[in-house]
Amino acid sequence: EVQLVESGGGLLQPGGSLRLSCVASGFSLRSFEMNWVRQAPGKGLEWLSYVSSDGRTIYYADSVKGRFTISRDNGKNSLSLQINSLGSEDTAVYYCARRRCGHSCYSPHFDYWGPGTLVTVSP
Amino acid sequence: QSVLTQPPSVSGAPGQRVTISCTGSSSNLGADYDVHWYQQLPGTAPRLLIYDDTDRPSGVTDRFSGSKSGTSASLAITGLQADDEADYYCQSYDNRLRGYVFGTGTRVTVL
């Protein structure tokens, strides 16, 4: 069974940093491109970052570029997201999601999601 | 910030058919990027419902169907049931933003 489990969230102060992790099981992470998506309380979904299967290609949403760093360790079947200079706008549930191509890779979708980890930024 | 627009809410009685629209632009749906749909039950992670405009993953009931034309897409739910109450999001790719984009989300209420 495919599973993704995020961890590393919690209550943090503005200006701080944290590292979120996502551990995969039931499939080989090295074979899939991965993403992070977040959802602020009561709000919609926001795509944050993408990493290719070999880790060499990375993209970020403009809203987080420069503060967020995505990485992966295929040997440990894990994905990470480093977040620096935390602000209240970063308060959200953070999901890791597996990218999958359908008929083509022209517009991939996210076929599996973890349950998410809550990050709360407050003084 | 969402570039895909959905109605905030739709509702229907049990057994009825409801549709959710997703309106984009020339840099996403109009550029022939596929649209995908997710269901998010309260307090849970999103679940893939429809991919590549019209396809259903295994395990998703055929009460859910998708369509797309030009810069718009739609999700239809037939035979509405109480456990269909959830938030629904469309998703695609935008070549101007160079990233994945989600719709604003629609809450479905079963009356």
Residue B34 pLDDT class (50, 70, 90 cuts): very high
Positive or negative: CA dihedral A7, B87, A37, A41: negative
Q: Is residue B100's pLDDT more than 90?
A: yes
Residue B35 pLDDT class (50, 70, 90 cuts): very high
- B72 to each of A23, A109, B35, how far by Cα in Å? 36, 17, 9
What pLDDT is attached to residue A103?
82
Q: Is residue B27's pLDDT more than 90?
A: yes
CA B109 to chain centre: 15
The Cα–Cα gap between B102 and A107 comes to 12
Q: Do residues B76 and B17 lie in contact, with contact meaning Cβ atoms separated by under 8 Å?
A: yes
- Find the residue in A nearest to B44 (Cα): A115
For the stretch A15-55, pLDDT in tens is 999 999 999 999 999 999 999 999 999 999 999 999 999 99
The Cα–Cα gap between A16 and A87 comes to 8
What's the whole-number mean pLDDT along residues A5-20? 97
What pLDDT is attached to residue A8?
97
The Cα–Cα gap between B93 and B107 comes to 22
Contact yes or no for A44 and B101 at CB 8 A: no
For the stretch B37-64, pLDDT in tens is 999 999 999 999 999 999 999 999 999 9
Using a CB–CB cutoff of 8 Å, tell me whether A1 touches chain B. no
What pLDDT is attached to residue A105?
84
- A113 to each of A66, B27, B48, how far by Cα in Å? 25, 26, 9
What's the whole-number mean pLDDT along residues A94-119? 94
Which residues of chain B approach chain A closer than 8 Å at the C-beta? 1-2, 32-36, 38, 44-48, 51-52, 55, 57, 89, 91-93, 97-105
Q: Is residue B1's pLDDT more than 80?
A: no
**A14 Cα to chain B: minimum distance (Å):** 23
The Cα–Cα gap between B36 and B50 comes to 5
Q: Is residue B90's pLDDT more than 90?
A: yes
Of B33, B37, B102, the residue nearest A61 (C-alpha): B102
The Cα–Cα gap between A108 and B52 comes to 8
Find the CB nearest A111 among B32, B35, B48: B48
The Cα–Cα gap between B85 and B108 comes to 5
What pLDDT is attached to residue A29?
95
For the stretch A54-87, pLDDT in tens is 999 999 999 999 999 999 999 999 999 999 999 9
